Chains A and B, each alone.
Chain A
Amino acid sequence: MKRLLLSVLILIPVFWVHAVEPSNVPVSFNKDIRPILSENCFSCHGQGKTKGELRLDASEHFLKAGASGEKAVVPNQPSASELVKRILSTEKGKVMPPPSTKKTLTAAQKEILGKWIAQGAPYEKHWSFEPIKAQAPPEKKPNPIDAYLISRLKKEGLNYAPKADPSTLLRRVSLTLTGLTPSVQEMETFLADKSPDAYEKMIDRYLASPKYGEEMARHWLDIVRYADTHGLHLDNERQMWAYRDWVISAFNKNQPFDRFMVEQVAGDLLPNATLDQLIATGFNRCNVSTGEGGSISEEWVFRNAVDRTSNFMEAFLGLTGGCAVCHDHKFDPITAKDYYSLYAFFHSAADSPLDGNQLLLAPSVKLDLPETKKKIAELEVEVSTLRRKMEEEAAKLAYEDPALKPAKSEIKVAEDIWFEDEFPKGSKVFASPGVPLELVDAKKGKVFSGTKAIRRSDAGLAQDVCENMSPITIQEGSVLFAHVFLQDGRLPKSIMLQYHSTGWLHRAVWGDYNIIPWGAANTTERVNMGPLPSAGKWIRLEVPAEKIGLKPGTIVNGFAVTQFGGIVFWDKIGMTGKKDPATDPAQSFAAWWQQQTGRDQPEAASDVAILIKQGPAKTTDKDQVNKVKAFYLANYCSATKVQMKPLLTKLDELSKKKTALEQSAPGTAIFRELPKPRDSFVMVRGMYNKPGEKVEPNTPAIFPPLKKADPKKRADRLDLANWLVSPEQPLTSRVMVNRFWQQVFGTGIVKSSGDLGTQGELPFHPELLDWLASDFRSSGWDVKKLIKLLLTSEAFQQVSTVSPELLRKDPENRLLARGPRIRLDAEQIRDNILFTSGLISFDMGGRGTMPYQPPNIWEPVGFTGSNTRNYKQDTGTNLYRRSIYVFIKRTAPAPFMANFDLPNREALCAKRERSNTPLQALQLMNDVQHFEAARKLGERLITEGGNDAGKRIELAYKIILSRFPAPEEKAIVMEGLEKHIARYKADPKASALVVKVGESKIKEGINESELAAYTLLANTILNLDETVNRN
């Protein structure tokens, strides 16, 4: 200690010559101090770790004495502050940061730390956790944004650049708002409009276009990581494009952004939630998921909840939560408990933790598409007409109920079939674990009789279950049977038949007796039937009912076919037994009605259904009895089946049509809670099987507290959503405004738009950000208004020309002393070549499309059994739809988009890269999409541009760049064009090849070599740097 003091004493005088004076420029904790501490100190002296009992992340900690008894910071007394002593020390074991961390402070950093303490060590909470301060703009300007920016520029001795020319502005606005260049017509309208508000009117036209929603949605889909496949392992298709379309439509309707967020987080909990509000909750179903065999469910419950929690934090709060999964966040004031309290809101998701590789994993909703609805309604009318006719016919048939016959009928042995092509009417069929029932025909599998059989393939325990059948009474000597086919080479370990009486209490097992441990061993709950039957052929399994404890008189109302591993087919399942016509529901009307009493009859007309349910005892009116009887004879009676057959067949066809229509109607995954929430815990070191302290759903303590709608109840997601958009919430509107700013100006006011926490960058212009955030909120979260405000600023309208001097001073254009210049995004680049060539289709919505893609993009990575292994390229207009509708396969995104930095949508992406690579050059020159577009554009130039080459070049500039070429440009293009013309005139074979690229046809009467030359011309202009940039 003595030595330390000595060295401090020696050092201090030198250092403090200029530092000990509290200079008049105030030091800001947030701007000047926290970044130094965060970078160098927090990882040991922060929230997560407090070495030496010292925390430097908040004043309440660093003003206290640490383990050594010394105070790290003594306000106004740098030389008494242990922090200063330590950073100045040269002594091993004393100096901070210690050399082992490989971190060192610069002289300037040491100096400012000293200055800060000398000024009294003022402390501020991290800026983004402080309430939003709305102050009046610093000067009067028509657009407050300019007031803030100009006052900042003045400090740097700079000013705005001149206003850009109208055609540059038009193209800039059009690309910003719709992702497309202006049409020639729009260009002519705008350039001719000399009214003072021409610019504003032009913006309004674009804001009203449905293409606006498509452009805005794109950015949001990066945040929510939307894609069309599950993302892990098989990476099968996932159906949730309705969510994507909902986002587009929300922007087009200019839905207030607070509602937009609330519906996504908790649309399902809103009172009387609409279909749209349910679709919006797909937000929480966009995470990657797996169905990989062998995965452990508990692990994936945890992982999915973590993914959703982290995405929630990043998407809405602009905070990275990942660290707090394992430990208290070292930098941001988010403890592991905070994190898991937030996680508790998402932990009780009702969707299965493993996706079963299903297209539409429950919970989901079917889409209310008008065409489907209409077709179903038409079919329903047909069905009820037919039913009425059947009952009329049936009423005419002669029938004598054997139960009412005086003489006892002969008792015969007969078969009762429970499964043949389908399960009994009215029964409930389900599968476990997740993979739904598969019925195969003889083409796809094995069939014993009829047209279909059940097929199931699984690595472990799996089954198909039929419950709620019409009750069947076991008779003396009844034998249960089922036909089974075991696939050679893929044998199960065991197979099992199960029957439900008062419970699932009756099982018969073939093969490994113990591998399915259900029911008490060696009782009728699990009877050993011996080895597996032989594979490779159909075998009839028979189980005497008595053997598995089904005594005569017992009622059976369900069965299940179960296997462990392998591939198994099942067909023709039922029971043989003695049948007394007087008590057999298939023969006796009285017996049938008795059996059906109390049961619902979805197929009967509503009045008849009520009668059947109330039973014969309560139905005395003769007409009513006859109605029920007619229904019985038409549908269930074996004696009248022959006469009814033609009508029954027709009915069957109709209902199959309807089922097919209902099933094929697309749906979308939504978010729901389990009826009983899971208990949530802090998971120790982020391990799914190491629960620690129990937590309740809550928001992080650093923020204003959550207000529950019902203080007595556990907080729910709707409370969370409302908290998110509450006026006290300091982050949400800052995060959103910053992202829109980034979209318009290229870089956010906070450059790290995905991280507004302590490790993120500080806002370049905090007052402007706060003013915008507060204005956005008080406008009712009006996105179109905000966007218009940004676009009408003078800042946005400057020329983007940059001098070497300004480039040096502000390489990233943060000060905005020039207009923004940004390379177009992947979607914009593709959409523009389609648009300018005239190939584009503006069809909106629906399943992702599959445009041209080079061979072998999906195949070399795809899992053998994946349904997205083979790329099935679309044809016709689907090749040319806007890129927001291109199918995104997460494990192999479309190369023409990934090449231009489309994120793969596995995790949130708040800011895309804007790379500049040779592979992009190759794509723009050679990709069939681009070259076909060049060909169609060449065709446009020839047919619409007149006969003069100069005029055609002008048209190319107008179409692609919304301006006229300068004479020098025209000359350069002309020189190239002449070479191309000469070359292709001399080589008709080559010309013929050029004009055949792509699927679209050439217009008749066009000279092939001329078209080839103009294709190359168009290809040139489409490759210009100016074309792929928003200038």
Chain B
Amino acid sequence: MNPFLENQMLQTRRQFFGNQGLRLGSLALGMMMAENKKSQAQQVQVHKPVAGLPHHKPTAKSVIYFHMNGAPSQIDLWDYKPLLNDFFNKDLPPSVQGGQRLSTMTSGQARFPVAPSKFNFTQEGKCGRWINSELLPFTSKIVDDIAVIKSVFTNAINHDPACTFVMTGSEVPGKPSIGSWLAYGLGSENNNLPSFVVFTPRFPEGSNGQALFTRMWSSGFLPTRFNGVALRGTGDPVLYLRNPEGVSSDDRRTMLDTLQKLNQRELQQLGDPEIQTRISQYEMAFRMQSSVPELTDLSSESKRTLEMYGPNVTTPGTFTHSAIMARRLVERGVRVVQLFHRGWDQHSSLPSQLGNQCKDTERATAALVMDLKQRGLLDETLVVWGGEFGRTVYSQGTLTKENYGRDHHPRNFCMWMAGGGTKPGISYGETDDFSYNITKNPVHINDLNATILHCMGIDHEQFAYKFQGLDQKLTGVEPQHVIKDLLA
């Protein structure tokens, strides 16, 4: 990082903690509880934005990004293709397949029989969106609030590179995740919580769970303080948050008072500003010991709200619990929240497994959008939903009308966005009758990332970090474009 900037940040930290760091002591807890977003805004930000950011007036303050890991089938959820019913078990026309590369899981298949979706699609909402309302009954009710993109494509054909690509803008490991970029660029409005939080909730047993990688929320070559912090379903919600057994908060305070006096003394002797930072980080840690439990305490939520999310809402580690936590986090000014839900890789038994996946997630997903809306937060929160690629129209393995599987399909898949300055109730991009090729308005992963940055007030072309001698960008070296049509 630019040393001048670092210095500047230190100055502000010093202003914030320097004089009161020690006195904060036993007062810290009480202060923290009393602290609300408004009073925080008047204080100095701990997680400051990079100088010059935002580039323009943002339409979203926070992002909640649902990553449905494994690749949800676009054909069975969003990309309605009624003509396929005439093609059941007929070969995919070669003109459609076009000699594209296939995954070696099906490239050896003798034929590519078309598997129409077995599900009922209906038109929902004022916008008349076609949607699989059988598996997405709750989402069907929010179609007027979301923008569906049918024409996202990726370069990768396997999970690992594709996940890395969708989260970091590059297939090659080592680049920062989009959440880290945002945390780095924009900082956070909450001084007591990390600026970028991730969840890895449980997923249905029996679903084909692919691996996740910490690189999907890691800071790559950015400073590691921009790593996503996992809020965990078991053990401490934040790693090492709880004092060891037998150590009370008062004991910790006594210990910290001694520690900080000694550190202060060292600072006076050596003058290294890093000592000042460490002193303030210990105070922040102490505050987190109360702010995180406060965050995870759902007793203040109304019964109606809890019911809206669904039955597991109070069970940590479930998708439903993660969804309501996401709202609580953005409410507290956290910049980025990501939910990584696994199990969407349906090579076989797609109809039943996909049903389980939707049952596990879609009620809470829709509830979150409605909840944000009813609190007026949807206007400043961008919600993104999607996987890492799509699935093939042709069946992998046994094909009957009721049962089939689908292989990886990087050429087109669906994602949706809501709130945060996106245009509600629209659909963007078109695919052919087989959901196999994009026919209109292709959206590259990095077009999508550029658009997310744009909503957050960032011009992706100017948002760079010097590494290995190069101006590295989330959106890479090829030119990418903000999808203007998606914006309200």
Contact = CB atoms under 8 A, between A and B. Distances in A.
B234 A990 contact: no
B457 to A, nearest CB: 17
B3 A1019 contact: no
Interface string A1007-1031: 0000010001001100111100001
Given A515-B109, A980-B254, A1016-B255, A811 B470 contact: no
Interface string A720-763: 00000000000000000000000000000000101101111000
A522 interface: no
A1025 B209 contact: no
Interface stretch (B24-32, B127-135, B259-267, B380-388): B259-267
Contacts of B104: 293-297, 460
A969 B269 CA distance: 13
Given A907-B173, A919-B240, A923-B239, A801 B269 contact: yes
A562 B312 CA distance: 46
B233 A856 contact: yes
Contacts of B258: 972-973, 975-976, 1020
B110 interface: yes
Contact of A460 (B108, B259, B274): B108
Interface stretch (B276-284, B300-308, B327-335, B419-427): B276-284
A816 to B, nearest CB: 15
Contacts of B233: 856, 860
Interface string A143-160: 000000000000000000
A854 B211 contact: no
Interface in B214-244: 214-215, 218, 223-225, 227, 229-230, 232-236, 238-244
Interface in A773-818: 800-804, 807, 811-812
B408 interface: yes
A983 interface: yes
Interface stretch (A73-81, A388-396, A657-665, A992-1000): A992-1000
A950 interface: no
A821 interface: yes
A918 B470 CA distance: 30
A801 B255 contact: no
A863 B265 contact: no
A755 B468 contact: yes
Contacts of B83: none
Interface in B320-372: 347
Interface stretch (B145-153, B156-164, B177-185): B156-164
Contacts of B281: 916-918, 920-921
B271 A921 contact: no
A294 B157 contact: yes
Contact of A918 (B242, B272, B285, B398): B285
A233 B159 CA distance: 7
Interface in A668-715: 689
Contacts of A997: 244-246
A487 to B, nearest CB: 13
A651 interface: no
A904 B468 CA distance: 18
A895 B407 CA distance: 35
A232 B255 CA distance: 43
A416 interface: no
A233 B266 CA distance: 47
A920 B278 CA distance: 9
A323 B246 contact: no
Nearest to A306: B172
B40 interface: no
Contacts of A860: 200, 212, 230, 232-233
A325 to B, nearest CB: 9
Contact of A922 (B110, B214, B288): B288
B223 A1025 contact: no
Nearest to A975: B258
Given A233-B160, A234-B211, A919-B240, A821 B270 contact: yes
A891 B234 contact: no
Contacts of B110: 512, 514-515
A979 B254 contact: yes
A1024 B263 contact: yes
Contact of A972 (B212, B213, B261, B267): B261
Interface string A219-244: 00000000000011111000000000
Nearest to B6: A811
Contacts of B279: 1025
Contacts of A802: 270-272
A805 to B, nearest CB: 10
B225 A992 contact: no
B34 interface: no
B264 to A, nearest CB: 10
Contact of B271 (A459, A801, A918): A801
A174 B273 CA distance: 25
A2 B17 CA distance: 62
A800 B159 contact: no
A609 interface: no
Contacts, number: 258
Nearest to B397: A565
A906 interface: yes
A627 interface: no
A905 B97 CA distance: 39
B376 interface: no
Contacts of B105: 293-294, 459-460
A104 to B, nearest CB: 13
Contacts of A333: none
Interface string A25-62: 00000000000000000000000000000000000000
A993 B244 CA distance: 8
A811 B109 contact: no
Nearest to B286: A921
Contact of B468 (A322, A514, A972): A322
A113 B277 CA distance: 41
Nearest to B202: A860
A913 interface: yes
A1025 B238 contact: no
A696 B273 CA distance: 53
A906 B174 contact: yes
Nearest to B227: A898
B262 A1024 contact: yes
Contacts of B277: 916
Max chain B Cβ within 10 angstroms of own Cβ: one of A288, A893, A913: A913
A531 B116 CA distance: 27
B276 to A, nearest CB: 10
Given A759-B468, A1012-B246, A922 B211 contact: no
B116 to A, nearest CB: 22
Contacts of B255: 925, 976, 980, 1016, 1019-1020, 1023
Contacts of B52: none
B235 to A, nearest CB: 5
A759 B254 contact: no
Nearest to B241: A922
Nearest to A973: B258
Interface in B70-107: 101, 103-106
- In order of increasing CB-CB distance, the 4 nearest A-B pairs are A759-B469, A993-B246, A976-B258, A294-B103
Given A821-B272, A922-B285, A931-B244, 7 more contacts: A294-B105, A331-B470, A916-B277, A922-B238, A923-B239, A968-B265, A979-B254
19 contacts: A233-B159, A292-B158, A296-B157, A758-B469, A759-B469, A760-B469, A801-B271, A860-B230, A906-B173, A916-B278, A919-B240, A972-B261, A972-B262, A979-B254, A990-B247, A991-B246, A994-B246, A1016-B254, A1023-B259
Interface of A: 102, 231-235, 288, 290, 292-297, 320, 322-323, 331, 459-461, 491, 512, 514-515, 564-565, 689, 752, 754-755, 757-760, 800-804, 807, 811-812, 821, 823, 854-856, 860-864, 866, 891-893, 895, 898-899, 901, 904, 906-907, 913, 915-923, 925-928, 931, 968-969, 972-973, 975-976, 979-980, 983, 989-997, 1012, 1016, 1019-1020, 1023-1026, 1031
